[in-house]
Amino acid sequence: MAARRSHVRYSRWDGTQVTFDLDADSVLAEINDDLLYHGDLAAALRRMMHSGFADRNGERVQGIRDLMERLRERRRERLAAHNLGGVYEELADQLREVIDTERSALNAADDLDPADRERRLMDLDLLPPDLVGTVRGLQNHQFASEEAREKFDGLLDAMREQLAQRWFSQTAGAMSNPSPEAMARTKDMLAALNAMFEERAAGRAPDFAGFMNEFGDFFPENPANLDELLEVMAHRMAAMSAMLNSLSADQRAELDGLARALLDDLDLSWQMDQLSANLQREFPNLGWNRRYDFDGLDPLGFSDAMEVLGELGDLDQIEALLRGAANPGALAEVDLDRARDLLGADAAESLERLAEVGRLLSEAGLIDNREGRYELTAEGLRQVGRHALRDLFSKLARDAFGQHQTIRVGVGHERAADSKPYEFGDPFNLDIERTIRNALARGGTGTPVSLSPEDFEVARTEQVTRTATVVMIDLSLSMPMRDNFLPAKKVAMALHALITSRFPRDYLGMVGFSEVARMIEPRELPEVSWDYVYGTNMQHGFMLARRLLAREHGDRQIIMITDGEPTAHLNERGDPEFHYPPVRATVDATLAEVARATREGIRINTFMLDPSPALRGFVERLTELNRGRAFFTTPENLGDYVLVDFLDSRRQSTRRVG
């Protein structure tokens, strides 16, 4: 149901109101694994919307799946409690009461001519059994009972009012007294409204303000514009259509005939039919043909039926909006006040929070909305990596995280907080303040200040090591089939976060490999997914990794994460060849690349997931050739192995330089 108008309600806190404590970081953390696994930010947000999530206080925000179930339960409750027989029976019972009152009066009237009494009683006996026939017969009947006449006239007025109120508010002042003058004015209002439809269709601007000045008392909702007014009326007329559709064919025919019998004399039928057609063209998705199967015991009268059917129509529209919501922003179309009335305060609060998710992430600078598509920003990418890093280190001791200070002081690139007298060979990182102070202490105050070589002090520097790493991730189909893909990708994201935050001078490259290999830019990492092909082309992966590392200096290493032996390589023409089980040509081509990496001083550390005997045998040959290390891991401990090994290797490199 589209949000008609926004209303803010304030009330004293009584402890029952639902509230949530949401922040962008906790929302992003909620979708982190889904985003890494599927590589689709929009899809991850949709899945979170459907499943719901917990805020940072542990309060659960209901997802669309939960809200849809509650919505369907509300619908089932209403259908199971009521039936529409009362719409027909209520009118029939009141007409029978009029007839019984008139019959009793005729039998008790001693002053009537006996023949006249018999004629009038016969008129009552011969009344047609249907509603329309009964009404028309009583309209022509000569009443002996003033009480019966007043009941009948009151019933006609009430039926005219109820029939007219299917289009207008039940509290509309214009319909509180359905006199001929008021009904005639209703016809004028309908004609003016249909005229505005025609003006807009012709490209002219309807005089909505003039219309409201003349007929505003019909619309206590005080619509702000023509669109709001039409939407209110369309919902009421759609509810009336649903009621008629839900009746039996006989009941529907009787009510329709009754409406025409009561309103034809005021020429309202044509204007109402015209308005109905215009509204159906304007709002085609309101379910004009819907019907409901009531199977309860409580019969609904006309007015109650309209209210219940209006609720059911609103439930249907909320369901349609929830089902079609492609992103959190689409939920802003839900009328939260109506959702609160129908589904409860907690459901409305959850809907409001779900609708805010996209705005929260955008305002925090974590995502951008580009032409209707959500994309991670650079900060969002870093945050995804931080979440991955935090998850992987959560099982480790606190002092295992990034404690890599070097004890030895000497030359390097990073300035330290203290200084030392200059010695021959030191970088001339002159500490001006201390140098001038030394000169003044030696030669006294005054200008000019005379400097001498013994006055020079230079900033001490911390020993800095630089590591260049390329992570090779197996993207072959076996990785997701064995539940190895998410842990591998999380490791890649965590390494990216660790290096960019703790070791910004280090280099990190990424290579994905399956039937062929490809380089991966860090900004592409969240969207990287597995390839729907067979083949594990380590040879091509090593080739690209060497190309990336050729431009780097310092300690260089390749971290390879895989769950299978090499089954593909590039032939002499550069085309990929896949063979399973692996053939000698593939193994030899892969080991040739390992040998080239070894000659170039590149260490290869291999992390094997679900290692088979064949993979173990191959990696043993690779490790013997390269002198790197091999780890037999599981998805649960892969991150511990990779990150701890990276930090240990970096500390060792620092000590070697020191």
Note the pLDDT tens digit of each residue in 529-565.
Answer: 888 888 999 999 999 999 999 988 888 999 999 988 9
What distance in Å separates the CA atoms of residue 116 and residue 528, rounded to the nearest whole number? 95
How many angstroms separate the first and last alpha carbons of the chain?
A: 69
What distance in Å separates the CA atoms of residue 37 and residue 528, rounded to the nearest whole number? 8
Of the candidates 557, 589, 554, the one whose C-alpha atom is nearest the C-alpha of residue 571 is: 589
Work out the angle at residue 48's Cα, subtended by the Cα atoms of residues 44 and 50, and round it to the nearest 5 degrees: 120
Work out the angle at residue 458's Cα, subtended by the Cα atoms of residues 457 and 463, and round it to the nearest 5 degrees: 145
Amino acid (1-letter code) at residue 504: P
Of the candidates 388, 393, 384, 399, the one whose C-alpha atom is nearest the C-alpha of residue 637 is: 393
Q: Assess contact for 141 and 155: CB atoms under 8 A.
A: no
Domains and CATH numbers, the chain: 24-82+315-376 (no CATH), 88-164 (no CATH), 409-462 (no CATH), 467-657 (3.40.50.410)
What distance in Å separates the CA atoms of residue 13 and residue 22, rounded to the nearest whole number? 20
Strands 82-83 and 298-299: parallel
Of the candidates 248, 250, 219, the one whose C-alpha atom is nearest the C-alpha of residue 233 is: 219
Alpha-helix residue ranges (DSSP H) falling in 571-612: 584-599
What distance in Å separates the CA atoms of residue 549 and residue 596, rounded to the nearest whole number? 12
Q: What is the DSSP letter of 554?
A: S
What distance in Å separates the CA atoms of residue 495 and residue 385, rounded to the nearest whole number? 8
**Strand arrangement of the beta sheet that strand 467-474 belongs to:** 517-520, 507-513, 467-474, 555-562, 602-609, 630-633
Q: What is the DSSP letter of 6?
A: -
Bridge partners of residue 631, in order along the sequence: 607
Alpha-helix residue ranges (DSSP H) falling in 109-145: 114-125, 131-139
What distance in Å separates the CA atoms of residue 632 and residue 607, rounded to the nearest whole number? 6
What distance in Å separates the CA atoms of residue 435 and residue 421, rounded to the nearest whole number? 9
Bridge partners of residue 472, in order along the sequence: 511, 560
Q: Assess contact for 474 and 561: CB atoms under 8 A.
A: yes
User: Does residue 97 sit in helix, strand or coil?
Assistant: helix
Question: H or E segment at 60?
Answer: strand 60-61
User: Does residue 48 sit in helix, strand or coil?
Assistant: helix
pLDDT for position 20: 60
- Whole-model pTM: value is 0.59
R_g (Cα) of the chain, nearest Å = 41
Segments of the chain scoring below 70 in pLDDT: 1-21, 85-88, 160-180, 182-183, 248, 250-269, 301-303, 372, 392-418, 422-428, 460-465, 650-658
Omega cis (within 30) before 581: yes
Of the candidates 351, 412, 410, 349, the one whose C-alpha atom is nearest the C-alpha of residue 554 is: 412
Around Cβ 150, how many Cβ atoms within 10 Å? 13
What distance in Å separates the CA atoms of residue 521 and residue 466, rounded to the nearest whole number? 20
Around Cβ 412, how many Cβ atoms within 10 Å? 18
Strands 367-370 and 373-376: antiparallel
Of the candidates 417, 362, 383, the one whose C-alpha atom is nearest the C-alpha of residue 494 is: 383
Q: Assess contact for 368 and 378: CB atoms under 8 A.
A: no
Task: Give exposure, 499-519, as e/b (b: 16+ Cβ within 10 Å).
Answer: bbeebeebbbbbbbbbbbbbe
Question: H or E segment at 282?
Answer: helix 268-282
Longest dimension (CA), the chain: 145
What distance in Å separates the CA atoms of residue 535 and residue 583, rounded to the nearest whole number? 12
Q: What is the DSSP letter of 430?
A: B
What distance in Å separates the CA atoms of residue 652 and residue 95, rounded to the nearest whole number? 99
What distance in Å separates the CA atoms of residue 205 and residue 243, rounded to the nearest whole number? 34
For 562, phi and psi rounded to 5 degrees? -150, 165
Contacts of 236 (CB under 8 A, 6+ apart): 166, 167, 168, 306, 310
User: Does residue 417 sit in helix, strand or coil?
Assistant: strand
For 86, phi and psi rounded to 5 degrees? -65, -25
Amino acid (1-letter code) at residue 182: A
* Total residues found in the chain within this entry: 658
Lookup: tokens for 108: 């008790």
Q: Assess contact for 230 and 282: CB atoms under 8 A.
A: yes
3-state secondary structure 61-94: ECCHHHHHHHHHHHHHHHHHHEECHHHHHHHHHH
Q: Assess contact for 164 and 186: CB atoms under 8 A.
A: yes
What distance in Å separates the CA atoms of residue 623 and residue 606, rounded to the nearest whole number? 8
Of the candidates 85, 86, 91, 83, the one whose C-alpha atom is nearest the C-alpha of residue 292 is: 83
Q: Assess contact for 322 and 64: CB atoms under 8 A.
A: yes
Q: State the DSSP string of 167-178.
A: TS-TT-GGGSS-
